[in-house]
Chains A and B, each alone.
Chain A
Amino acid sequence: MAQRAAAALALLVVLLAVAPVIGDAQALQRLTVLSFDLGTDTPRPRAGVPFHLTLTLRVRERFGQIANIDLPGLAQLELLGDERETTTTPQGTQYRETVTVVAQNGGTLVISPGTLQAIDARDGKAKQWFSNGLTLHVAGAPSRAVYVAARTLGIALLWLLGIACIVALVVLLARRRRPAPRPVPVPIVPPPPPPAVVRTPRQRAQDALAVLRAERTRSAAIAVRAAIWRMVGASDGETLADVLRRTDSHDRVTRELLVALERSAFTYEEDLRAAIDDACGALERYIEDVA
């Protein structure tokens, strides 16, 4: 009985000792690692100038997330940013982590490999993979003034290049639209228009009278009526009553003129000659009156 109890206790102790190892092994992902690389966007970074380190892992399995990757030691660098990207394709998964760093001092910089812990899907054993390491030669920091000047010059050059492109595009379009060149005739410069002469109501009435005397027709009567209506400030579409309402009620001569012109515009043919005579008489009286 005592022997059985001792054996059970020993088995419990063994199980408790093994449990963390089993637990860790179950948390690891089961991966078939195809490649695991560490790279940089510049082999010769400058002190004080940020650059990027990229850790890339490709595995055959498709996972939304890869765990247990450790970045290389970046003790000599200042970490400015970290960006992770996991891309899943039918061929597997690619994990890319890009860290932005800056070296504060010049000299040779040795960057240790990144590590990955996972269960190797090929044999089912927990393993640790190492990427390659990097040895970078950091140049000294450029002077601030030189850096700013170079940067300003670069921006100015970019602007100049952009403007040159736009000008070239405009010239190209203008040339395409322009018709074939023709012989350019000698431009004939018209004489400058005579200065606008403001005609007085009397002159306008005289013009109207001359027109009506020269052409005793309905169309001439209508044209004269329109001219006189404009002269007294009437607008299109108004009737005689509208115009008379605005005309000074004591201005008998103007009112008679408007009525006579209305008659010449709307009376019947047999009465037209008499109506035009009447309108001419009213115009004469108006001319005398405004004089």
Chain B
Amino acid sequence: MIVERQPAALRAALAETIVGQERVIEGLLLALLCNGHVLLEGPPGLAKTLACRSLAAALEGDFKRIQFTPDLLPSDIVGTRIFDQRESAFATVLGPIFANVVLADEINRAPAKVQSALLEAMQERQVTIGPQSYGLPDPFVVMATMNPLDSEGTYALPIAQMDRFLMKVNVGYPSREEELRILDRFAVADTQPVRAVATLDDVRRWRVAAHAVHIDEKLKRYIVDLVAKTREPSEFIDYGASPRATLALAFLARGRALLAERDFALPDDVRAVAPHTLRHRIGFNYRLAAEGISADRIIDGLIAAVPAP
């Protein structure tokens, strides 16, 4: 049941523009295939915006970027009603959230009310302005970014809000070789435009195909075991991942199988997406920070402790 135009082509198109950052590219594609949203955490200057913009361009879709600031209002995102004096009537102006790919830059810099408006829109896939509800475009993918280095004047996202993101990808610095390639590619010319390799209809078809990817019973039990492992008493964990994580793991394993042009998922698919699925859904306690241990190290330990089928 392999569809004609493959999502792998989209990956190849993005890789032509973005050097390295395979995890970011794969995260964006998986979010697109699984109809979810991605939280990207990493320092500035790591091509997060470029990746989102390139994805929208490769799909011939709309791209909007919203810079989150402390004075941002919900209406700045979803839109508002303005009185038109010439027509003597209220006219609705839709906000920047009405796009196929939305980059919510530094989401933790806006107050909780604005974050809540965005996250509700992500969940419901529609917004209400005045008496009227407006459906968001399909596909609709939000890529939210957070800067882990500069936490002053930020509003930390509550864990319930974080849970709405299908996955959280940590964006790291490129390797030396990748950075040399970045120099070669961007030193002379400006950002190379991404060629469109798929349409929004293709994305909708891929989603149907992703839903049809087979997950064996052994693999389902493996997913449940992984999530259950996060709920076991631990020195560093206050609470484990929710059943939403179980669903997310299955969705993402299917999406990854489709990206690999398979119509059945493998244990490798589950294991590869598990860190990005569990990272923001586990409540770590203060001991983790006190002892200087990274959350990813704990998550890697949890994943390694569950034998794959």
Query: Which positions in A face B, CB cutoff 8 Å?
Result: 236-241, 262-263, 265-268, 271
| Distance from A227 Cβ to chain B, minimum over Cβ atoms (Å) | 16
Judged by a CB distance under 8 angstroms, whether B266 is at the interface is yes
Q: Are A266 and B263 interface neighbours, CB within 8 A?
A: no
Most chain A CB inside 10 Å of its own CB: which residue of B214, B219, B267, B306: B267
Contact across chains for A266 and B266 when beta carbons are under 8 A apart:
yes
In the complex, chain A residues whose CB is within 8 Å of the CB of B239 = none
Q: List CB contacts (< 8 Å) of B261-309 with chain A.
A: 262-268, 271-272, 306-308
Q: Indicate if the CB atoms of B214 and A240 lie closer than 8 Å.
A: no
A241 near B271 with CB under 8 A, answer yes
Chain B proximity of A54: nearest CB distance (Å): 71
Q: Other than the known A236-B307, A263-B262, A271-B263, what 6 A-B pairs have Cβ atoms closer than 8 Å?
A: A239-B268, A239-B271, A266-B218, A266-B264, A267-B264, A268-B263
Size band of the B side of the interface? Answer: 10 to 19
Could you say which residues of chain B place their CB within 8 Å of the CB of A266?
A: 214, 216, 218-219, 264-267
B22 vs chain A, min Cβ distance (A): 14
B116 CB to nearest A CB, Å: 39
- Option from A239, A267, A271 in Cβ contact (under 8 Å) with B308: A239
Q: Considering the complex, give the chain B residue whose CB is closest to the CB of A218.
A: B216
- Sort A-B residue pairs by CB-CB distance and give the 5 closest, nearest first: A237-B307, A268-B214, A267-B264, A239-B267, A241-B268
Give bound CA distance, A145 to B77, whole Å. 115
* Chain B residue at minimal CB-CB distance from A244: B268
Bound CA–CA A239/B214 (angstroms): 18
Q: Which residues of chain B come closer than 8 Å to A263, judged between CB atoms?
A: 262, 264
Contact B219–A238 (Cβ < 8 Å): no
- B63 to A: closest C-beta gap in Å: 33
Interface centre among A236, A240, A266 (most CB of B within 10 A): A266
B305 to chain A, nearest CB (A): 9
| B96–chain A nearest beta-carbon distance, Å | 40
A271:B266 contact, CB within 8 angstroms: no
Contacting pair A239 B266 (CB below 8 A): yes
Question: Across the two chains, which residue of chain B brings its CB closest to A243?
Answer: B268
Mark contacts of B208-221 with chain A using CB atoms, 8 A cut-off: 1 yes-contact digit, 0 otherwise: 00000010101100
Q: How far is the CA of A241 from the CA of B270 in the complex (A)?
A: 12
- Whether A271 pairs with B264 at a CB distance below 8 angstroms is yes
**B residues within 8 A CB of A268?**
214, 263-264
> Once the chains are docked, how many angstroms separate the CA of A238 from the CA of B216?
17
Q: How far is the CA of A263 from the CA of B216 in the complex (A)?
A: 11
B223 to chain A, nearest CB (A): 13
Within 8 A of A (CB), among B221-274: 262-268, 271-272
Q: How far is the CA of A266 from the CA of B265 in the complex (A)?
A: 7
Q: List 21 A-B contacts (CB under 8 A).
A: A236-B307, A237-B306, A237-B307, A237-B308, A238-B308, A239-B268, A240-B266, A240-B267, A240-B268, A241-B268, A262-B266, A265-B216, A266-B214, A266-B264, A266-B266, A267-B263, A267-B264, A268-B214, A268-B264, A271-B263, A271-B264
Please, how many angstroms separate the alpha-carbon atoms of A130 and B209 in the complex?
121
Residues of B within 8 A of A238 (CB): 308
A267 to B266, CA, bound (A): 9
A238 to B262 CA separation, bound complex (whole angstroms): 20
B262: chain A residues within 8 A (beta carbon) = 263
CB-nearest residue of chain A relative to B272?
A241
Please, which residue of chain A has its CB at the minimum distance from the CB of B215?
A: A266
Query: How distant is the Cα of A268 from the Cα of B218 in the complex, in angstroms?
Result: 12
B268: chain A residues within 8 A (beta carbon): 239-241
A267 partner, pick from B214, B267, B271, beta carbons under 8 A: B214
Min CB gap A234→B, angstroms: 11
Shortest C-beta distance, B236 to chain A (Å), equals 23
Please measure, in the bound complex, the distance between the C-alpha atom of A35 and the C-alpha atom of B217, giving whole angstroms. 98
A284 to B: closest C-beta gap in Å: 23
Q: Which of B28-53 contact A (CB under 8 A)?
A: none
CB-nearest residue of chain B to A235: B307
A236–B307 Cα gap in the complex (Å)? 7
Interchain CA distance A214-B268 in the complex, whole Å: 29
